[in-house]
Structure formats: C-alpha cells, structure tokens
C-alpha cells in the first residue's frame, strides 16, 4: 500500500465572499413570504459576522492510498484543476445551518465525537459504526469532479472508502432495493435557515440511492478532504459522494443508513419534485425548470469569483463507469 503525504499546495488565501440565491422552490414554500416581501432576505442574510480566527480548513491528518484512476493526470479528470481548499471550505450548501453559501462558522456547532452511524433495515448484519470503525475501512484518496444542481462546479480530493465496502460489511438481503441515508438532525444544533422558517422544511435531510447505484465503484463515503478529516461544514464525520449526480444527492453528517424495498422520500424531492429528481444524474440536455444545465461555472483554483464557463459533461464525465445503470446509455 502506498501511503501518501498530502502537500499544502491547495492552501490559498481566503477570498472575500458573496452569497448566491438559494434554490428553494418558492412556489411551494415561499408563497406567503414573497407576498410580504421577505423573500429578499434569502440572499445573504446570514453572512457570518464573527471575526475569530477559526480555521475553516482544520482537520486531523488522515492517510490514504491515492487511487490513480481518480487522479488529476492520467485518471478520469485530466480536464480541470483542483479547487482551492479554502474556497471549497467556505462556499458550501448545508441547509441545517442556513440557506446561503457561508455557513461554515455556524456548522461548527455540530459535535462529532462521539458519533454513531446506525446501519440497518434489510441487512443480515445490522451494526453501528463509530469514528474508529469508520477509519478502519481501507482509505483511498479520490479526486472527483463535483457538480452542484445550481450549475457551479469544483474539483475536490476526497478521502474515504467505496460504499461497496459498507455493503459487504452489513450484507443486504435480496429484498433490499434502495438505501436511505439520513443526516444528523437536532433542532437545537441544526437550526436551519432563518428564512424560510426551518419548521417549514422537511427535516431531517434524507437522500437515497438504488442499491445498484450504491454498489457502483464510484459511489463513495468521504470521511476526509484535502488530506485530513472533514471540516464540519463539508459534512463531518461522514458524507456521501456520488460524483455523477448533482451535489444534493450527497447527504452530509450521516447518522443512519437503512436498506429498504421502497424508494425513500428525499429532502429536495419532497420540497420540489419537479426540480430535484430522485435520480438527479448530471445531464446537460435536461434543464432545471428555472435554468439551463448545458454549461457550468467551474470555480477556479483561486477563489469563488474566478470561474470558467465549461460545457456540462453527461454524468459529470463519469459515463464510462455508470452509463450501464441507466436506460440512457450514451457516454
């Protein structure tokens, strides 16, 4: 096993930040609010004001084998540079802590030690995994493209293990067809956005996959990023990474995983089924009802203001590995 040492070359200076519109379906959730003109407060009302010197990129070092198949050169990713660690750590979506991109300070309210991920449902060997158990999986580093449904994109080095390894550990029964992933939720900690009122949102955050999707080689659980454990705003201590799908499929801070025979109801699909599909594959020719998905804003290695317009890639460029899962086979 080749152990790698992650260099500090990703650490660039912090850029000033600007909020971006949240992507809730206003028709269902904000009708009353728009009428009273409050909706404008969605834009950036929660810009953090604290000025302490907490480092948004902090984490404990993790060692992992770099998987050359998912490397910058020669792997499946030769076409774009790595995003700066600081940009990735300060430009997040995590509605449990607010509806703008700058929630990283608020996310520090989450306590991750101790942690338990309960895995059950239709499995032969239900069990719970604590932090040490998670680090016992053979850890790999995979540099993946990341594509948000909002049409911005990054390139991120995750550390973690293939979802298939967890499947092997719990042995789903033949009746299991889907998997439900539930994020940590405690309204005292995960206070949600100030607007729309958190009480209107369908907590906890839940995502789901078909079991064949979870078994695919690319489906990954990240426990780290840029060489160390996940900062809280990225979904510590464990999150999903499904790189051929839009980023909202990647539930953060997972507390429960259940194998089931029913397609799970998921957070964004419940909020707006016409806009956020269960499948949610990256497909350039399938527009979001409110914007095109044909191109994306590739956030540069430098800061969130420097970006390059790129054509969106079908399955985010991972068709070779995942196209067989879907009726639409084209790569």
Q: Which residues bind ligand MTE (CB under 6 A)?
A: 92-96, 148, 183, 205, 234, 247-248, 250-253
Which CB atom, from 68 or from 197, has the smaller least distance to ligand MTE? 197
The contacts of residue 55 (CB under 8 Å, 6+ apart) are none
Min CB(275)–ligand MTE separation in Å: 12
When CB distances to ligand MTE are compared, the closest residue is 247
Tokens of 156: 């991120």
76 or 254: whose CB is closer to ligand MTE? 254
Q: How far is the CB of 205 from ligand MTE (least distance, A)?
A: 4
Identity of the residue, 46 or 253, whose beta carbon is nearer to ligand MTE in the bound complex: 253
User: Residue 96 CB, nearest distance to ligand MTE (Å)?
Assistant: 5
Q: Which is nearer to ligand MTE, 6 or 122 (CB)?
A: 6
Q: Which is nearer to ligand MTE, 220 or 248 (CB)?
A: 248
DSSP string, 16-50: P---------HHHHSHHHHHTTGGGGGTTTT----
Closer to ligand MTE by CB, 70 or 248: give it: 248
Instruction: Enumerate the H helices of the chain as residue ranges.
Output: 26-29, 31-35, 85-90, 131-136, 163-170, 211-215, 267-271, 319-322
* CB of residue 104 to ligand MTE, shortest distance in Å: 9
Shortest distance, CB of residue 124 to ligand MTE, whole angstroms?
28
Least distance between ligand MTE and beta carbon 3 (Å): 25
Can you give 49-107 as a three-state secondary structure string?
CCCCCCCCCCCCECCCEECHHHCCCCCCCCCCCCCCHHHHHHCCCCHHHCCCCCCCCHH
- Paired strand residues for 162: 220
**3-class DSSP assignment, residue 224:** strand
- Dig out the tokens for 244 from the structure: 């051929």
Shortest gap between Cβ of 150 and ligand MTE (angstroms)? Answer: 7
In the bound state with ligand MTE, the residue whose beta carbon lies nearer, of 86 and 252, is: 252
**Core vs surface per residue 294-331: b (16+ CB within 10 A) or e:** eebbbbbbbbbeebeeeebbbbbbbbebbbebbeeeee
């Amino acid at each position: 096993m080749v152990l790698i040492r992650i260099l500090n070359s990703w650490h660039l200076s912090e850029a000033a930040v600007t909020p971006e519109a949240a992507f809730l379906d206003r028709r269902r959730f904000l009708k009353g609010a728009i009428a009273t003109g409050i909706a404008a407060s969605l834009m950036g009302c929660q810009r953090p004001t604290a000025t302490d010197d907490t480092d948004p990129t902090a984490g404990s070092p993790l060692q992992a084998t770099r998987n050359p198949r998912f490397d910058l050169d020669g792997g499946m990713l030769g076409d774009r540079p790595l995003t700066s660690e600081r940009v990735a750590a300060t430009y997040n979506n995590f509605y449990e802590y607010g509806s703008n991109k700058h929630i990283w300070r608020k996310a520090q309210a989450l306590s991750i030690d101790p942690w338990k991920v309960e895995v059950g449902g239709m499995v032969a060997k239900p069990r719970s995994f604590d932090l040490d158990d998670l680090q016992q999986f053979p850890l790999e580093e995979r540099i993946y493209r990341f594509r948000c449904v909002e049409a911005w994109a990054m390139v991120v080095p995750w550390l973690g293990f293939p979802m298939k390894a967890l499947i092997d550990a719990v042995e789903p029964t033949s009746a299991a067809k889907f998997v439900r992933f539930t994020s940590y939720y405690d309204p005292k900690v995960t206070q949600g956005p100030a607007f729309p009122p958190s009480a209107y949102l369908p907590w906890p955050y839940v995502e789901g996959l078909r079991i064949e999707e979870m078994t695919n080689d690319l489906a990954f659980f990240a426990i780290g990023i840029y060489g160390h454990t996940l900062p809280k705003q990225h979904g510590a201590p464990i999150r999903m990474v499904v790189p051929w799908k839009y980023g909202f499929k990647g539930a953060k801070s997972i507390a429960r995983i259940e194998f089931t025979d029913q397609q799970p109801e998921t957070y964004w699909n419940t909020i707006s089924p016409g806009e956020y599909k269960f499948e949610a594959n990256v497909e350039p020719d399938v527009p979001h009802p409110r914007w095109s998905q044909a191109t994306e804003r590739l956030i540069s290695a430098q800061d969130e203001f420097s970006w390059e317009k790129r054509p969106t890639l079908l399955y985010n460029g991972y068709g070779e590995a995942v196209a067989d899962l879907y009726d639409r086979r084209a790569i």
